[in-house]
Homo-oligomer: A and B are copies of this chain.
Amino acid sequence: MKATVIRRERFSAAHRLYRPDWDDEKNMQVFGKCSWKNYHGHNYLLEVRVTGEIDPETGFVMNLSELKEMIRSVLQEFDHKNLNLDVPEFRELLPSTENLAVVLWNRLRNLIPAKFDLEIYLEETDKNAVVYRGK
């Protein structure tokens, strides 16, 4: 019997959407107030969804206290940080919610055993969110 277990964690970070190869006007036109030079920030909600067989010995798809530790080990490099300046993946990549979901998914995928399917939901504000399933 397969089920999906879900674990939610929150983190807070600053970021900015800006392409240095575009002028400020073009950045403003595409990214709007998200391109502001001094950064702004969000409380992100990350929901990690892991699908697999229910282990009859424990009744768990995955022990959520282990999953929680994996998520927190990933998030400690994002929480209370500046995504543009502090996260290596964003040196060349725009820290949009979509790209942030991809980066978080890749980091989590390295930690979560391959027998499990992985999907993440990432909320940037109460109105905007992204789901990423690893392509």
Which of A32, A93, A127 gathers most chain B CB within 10 Å? A127
A108 adjacent to chain B (CB < 8 Å): no
A59 adjacent to B98 (CB under 8 Å): yes
Tell me which residues across on chain B come within 8 A of A118, comparing CB atoms. Answer: none
Question: Do A10 and B125 touch (CB < 8 A)?
Answer: yes
How far apart sit A98 and B67, CA to CA, in the bound complex (Å)?
Answer: 15
Q: Is the interface of A mostly helix, strand, loop or mixed?
A: mixed
CB-CB < 8 A to A36: which residues of B? 80-82
| B4/A131 in contact, CB under 8 A | yes
Among B43, B57, B65, B93, the residue within 8 A (CB) of A59 is: B93
How would residues 82 to 117 of chain A score, 1 for a CB under 8 Å from any chain B CB and 0 otherwise? 100110000001111111011000000000000000
Interface membership of A70, Cβ < 8 A: no
The 9 closest A-B pairs by CB, nearest first: A41-B41, A59-B96, A59-B94, A38-B82, A33-B80, A14-B14, A4-B131, A14-B41, A6-B129
